[in-house]
Amino acid sequence: MSIFVDTSTRLCIQGITGRDGSFHARQMMEYGTPVVAGVTPGKGGQRFDDSIPVFDTVAEAVQETEANASVIYVPPGLAAGAIYEAADAGIGLIVCITEGIPVLKLTKLMPFLRERGTRLVGPNCPGVITPGVAKVGIIPGNICAPGRVGLVSRSGTLTYEVVNHLTRHGMGQSTCVGIGGDPIIGTNFIDCLRAFEDDPATDAIVIIGEIGGTDEQNAAQFVTDQVSKPVVGFIAGQTAPKGRRMGHAGAIISGSSGTAAEKMAAFEAAGIGVMKRPAEVVTLLEAKL
């Protein structure tokens, strides 16, 4: 098994004919992801790479291909509308790669998604990959390997680094989820921790957080209360100065609750093995398994 993405996924790519959409569409197809449709308004009736039908709307794509997941490669000004469209068409999983969507638009969008039972991963995220099965987004498939370690991360590049360490040391992954680093995101640490806890194919969990906000502290409390599997974690931004944003829009220390030290202390109190640097992930997991 896996979480969010599996053999039943039927993927629609919004923005498939654009520069980023077309590049990553080919990467996902080569990986074996079941891509069944693309959407670009005004280009309906065409075929992408002579194989994937392109539609003007997500509703048409769902009706014709039974797509049940969507990945969005649409500019920031149009991305929120693309999410609304996918949810309104009945898509159950939406992965939004786009960075820079205005916070106000996301604030209005979240209740709409909850009403429809739609899961949004992102925005501003690298997506989801179930190694050997399917990838939805931009996580490089060549660094992943099938296995039993689940990973959830706010950082795309740290996802790649940690996954590479795991794979090189024979620790494959059940699913890797990049949730994104924006202040408002659709799927959080707790959503992924709950899914990994319920997944019989996941034996251990890696959580990668960063400074800013209290999501990591909330995740630590959830681990204490409801997670029985071994968990190790890393907090990025340990040397960041107070009041300065580091990388992601959500990575800013505005009080003591957002510091790396406070988050690492919360992890330790929850029994989460804390990495001082990403390369320690293998050693910590070996000690817990």
Closest CA to 90 of 116, 114, 112, 72: 116
Domain at 11-121, CATH class: alpha beta
Residue range(s) occupied by CATH 3.40.50.720 in the chain: 11-121
Tokens of 221: 């409390």
Contact 273, 284 (CB under 8 A): yes
Identify the pLDDT of residue 251. Answer: 47
What residue ranges in the chain does DSSP mark as E strands? 11-14, 35-39, 47-48, 52-55, 69-72, 93-96, 119-121, 127-130, 134-137, 146-153, 173-178, 204-210, 231-236, 273-275
- The rounded distance, in Å, linking the Cα atoms of 134 and 173 is 13
Contact 234, 158 (CB under 8 A): yes
Share of the chain above pLDDT 70, in %: 93
Active site residues: 248
Per-residue confidence at 2, pLDDT binned at 50, 70, 90? confident
Residue range(s) occupied by CATH 3.40.50.261 in the chain: 139-288
Beta-bridge partners for 120: 94
Contact 128, 136 (CB under 8 A): yes
- Say which CATH superfamily domain 139-288 falls into: Succinyl-CoA synthetase domains (3.40.50.261)
pLDDT at 255 over 60: no
Identify the pLDDT of residue 240. Answer: 58
Tokens of 115: 């009403």
pLDDT at 1 over 90: no
At 101-125, the pLDDT tens digits run 999 999 999 999 999 999 999 999 9
Identify the pLDDT of residue 31. Answer: 98
DSSP for 62-99 reads: HHHH---EEEE---HHHHHHHHHHHHHTT-SEEEE---
